[in-house]
Chain A
Amino acid sequence: MQWETVIGLEIHAQLATRSKIFSGSSTDFGAEPNTQANAVDLGMPGVLPVLNRQAVHMAIKFALATNAEIGRRSVFARKNYFYPDLPKGYQISQMSLPIVGRGEVEITMDDGSVKTVGLTRAHLEEDAGKSVHDAYAGQTGVDLNRAGTPLLEIVSEPDLRSAKEAVAYARKIHSIVRYIDICDGNMQEGSFRCDANVSVRIAGEEKLGTRAEIKNVNSFRFLERAINFEVERQIDIIEGGGEVVQETRLYDADKDETRSMRSKEEANDYRYFPDPDLLPVEVEQSLIDQLQQSLPELPESRKARFITDFELAEYDAGVLTADKATADFFEAAVEKSGASPKLASTWITGELFSRLNKAGLELGDSPVDAERFSGLLARMHDNTISGKIGKQILDQMWDSTDSADHIIESEGLKQISDSSEIEKMIDDVIAANPSQVEEYRGGKEKLLAFFVGQVMKASRGKANPAQLNELLKQKLNG
């Protein structure tokens, strides 16, 4: 039987405000428990929430970046449920009148195909606290530092048809919120969280199957694995004659499986109603215009510009613009080094990224900044050094604060482009390997690589590779 997967994502992005959405407490991550939880965050009697202007502005910026409708009049509502990390007994959220309405984003798949994904809405709400379940015997510890951190909950239409599409969409939203600087996107710290609503149906069916909501996914890789596991699980159930139950399931990365969150699923009944403590929020056109002005160039248009202005391949332009920091780094490197965009692109996405990955670092924490990296590119561009030596120098720059020029100078790594010097080394190699020369001349042309290697070795990697190749061929053939 042919099955079709249907996925919708709910993304919770913590907004990068200094203070909480309804109180003046700090939102800094990692503080001692409950040192950033004031009377409002604790739900003390008699307190009133006061809305943070910056959170409203950030939500509007998101709407502008996703061509979404802006709720010119939005209303906060109470979502009622009991849990110790929500001391008021309700979460302040938005229900029927959210600040962001319908929008859309484009995602590009690995094969280059482009798909438009609908956004249902995005609304402002407050985050809950955190519970610690295993530290105290028979008790749960509650830390309310996170309570009241502003969240933008971004809800997609059920437009996604595979785990790969879901990941591409999540990455796209991640890229957008970072570009417009409204969320730091840190998935490990929980500032960007994805819940996936997953269902399956027989291909061609109109009606959606029963969905399960998967929570607790803290990386894009796990999102893909969790969805794939869940799809298989649901298909197995249906093909085995069973029925999928609508429930919330947690992803367990260690076991690579999803499992039911509660044995007895209680039907949610949140009894939303408008929060009498907060008045409706109205957004003036002048504010929208002002925020529109403040938006940076977004990933789509930056990618298009990279393809046109820098003549980069679509794929490379996509990789370089997925993250604003990378795109900024690339542009700075090209401008400062005078190197070709192709060279800069290759070295950033190749050598630099692999070193960062290995060290587990973000570009922003790179030991080699754009300035120093440009210095290295410039010396490869003007043929002072070869790419091979470039890698060696990058390693040295990684562990020091030295410039490429300083390392080239002090280590004597300048490329040898003097023909007579290279010729002399070639002559020595030819003289030392008479049998290989004979074989080469007898037609075993792949021995050329052997000779290149020998001369390179003799030059300690410093011979200009293009010159070496040409001169070597002349000598061997002549």
Chain B
Amino acid sequence: MAVDEETVAQVAHLARLQIDENRVAEYAVEMSNVLALAETMNDINTDNVEPMAHPVHAVQRLRDDEVSESNNREAFQQCAPAVEEGYYLVPQVIE
């Protein structure tokens, strides 16, 4: 599968990545190469293979439903750029 420049821009947008427009063509080639590599796996018959959800063959351990955390707001908010009345402040997200 070949990745075109439009797809590169779209993927960058979804990941909120700023990319140099001059390098988009280059990225398109590199991403196409990576996908071509993965394509080789399509030659293998996987009809009877269960999709792997995790490389480790183990089952999820569960924890008891207990409140084990106390309020650490002050400590956490020390690394936030802006807080007010306990809220984290971010640039306005609706018009």
Contacts and interface: CB of A to CB of B under 8 A. Distances in A.
A414 B93 CA distance: 67
Contact of B14 (A23, A26, A271, A276): A271
Given A17-B65, A97-B53, A276-B54, A37 B86 contact: no
A421 to B, nearest CB: 64
Given A25-B69, A80-B14, A141 B94 contact: no
Interface string B65-85: 111110111001100001011
Interface residues of B, number: 36
Interface stretch (A130-138, A152-160, A289-297, A377-385): A130-138
A431 B84 CA distance: 80
A24 B67 contact: yes
B88 A144 contact: yes
Interface string A25-55: 1100000111111110010000000111111
A282 B82 CA distance: 42
B76 A37 contact: yes
Nearest to A96: B51
Given A34-B73, A34-B77, A18 B65 contact: yes
A25 B65 CA distance: 10
B90 A84 contact: yes
Contacts, number: 128
Interface stretch (B31-39, B41-49, B55-63): B55-63
Contact of A18 (B14, B62, B67): B67
Contacts of B86: 32-35, 143
A133 B93 contact: yes
Contacts of A26: 67, 69
A332 to B, nearest CB: 29
A36 to B, nearest CB: 7
Given A25-B69, A50-B61, A136 B84 contact: yes
Given A34-B76, A80-B14, A97-B53, A142 B60 contact: no
Interface in A78-105: 80, 82-84, 96-97
A141 B87 contact: yes
A139 B89 CA distance: 6
Contacts of A66: none
Contact of A282 (B59, B67, B76): B59
A50 B58 CA distance: 14
Contact of A53 (B62, B69, B72): B62
A278 interface: yes
Nearest to B82: A139
Contacts of B72: 38
B84 A141 contact: yes
Contacts of A39: 76
Which of B10, B56, B63, B84 has the largest number of chain A CB atoms within 10 A?
Answer: B63
Contact of A142 (B63, B66, B88): B88
B90 to A, nearest CB: 4
A279 interface: yes
Nearest to B85: A33
Contact of B66 (A24, A56, A84, A269): A24
B65 A54 contact: yes
A50 B94 CA distance: 33
A364 interface: no
A18 B66 contact: yes
A24 B68 contact: yes
Contacts of A50: 61-63
Interface in A248-307: 269, 271, 274, 276, 278-282
A24 B53 CA distance: 25
Contacts of B66: 18-19, 24
A180 interface: no
A279 B54 contact: yes
Given A131-B93, A140-B92, A38 B69 contact: yes
Interface in A108-142: 131-133, 135-136, 138-142
Contact of B64 (A38, A53, A139): A53
A407 to B, nearest CB: 44
Contact of B87 (A97, A132, A276): A132
Contacts of B65: 17-19, 52-55
B85 to A, nearest CB: 7
A269 B93 CA distance: 19
B51 to A, nearest CB: 8
Interface of B: 10, 14, 16, 51, 53-54, 56, 58-69, 71-73, 76-77, 82, 84-94
Given A24-B66, A281-B59, 8 more contacts: A19-B65, A32-B86, A39-B76, A141-B85, A141-B87, A271-B14, A278-B54, A281-B62
The 8 closest A-B pairs by CB, nearest first: A24-B68, A141-B87, A54-B65, A33-B86, A53-B62, A279-B60, A75-B53, A35-B71
13 contacts: A19-B65, A19-B66, A34-B76, A34-B87, A35-B73, A50-B61, A52-B63, A139-B89, A141-B84, A142-B89, A144-B88, A269-B14, A279-B53
Interface of A: 17-19, 23-26, 32-39, 42, 50-56, 75, 80, 82-84, 96-97, 131-133, 135-136, 138-144, 269, 271, 274, 276, 278-282
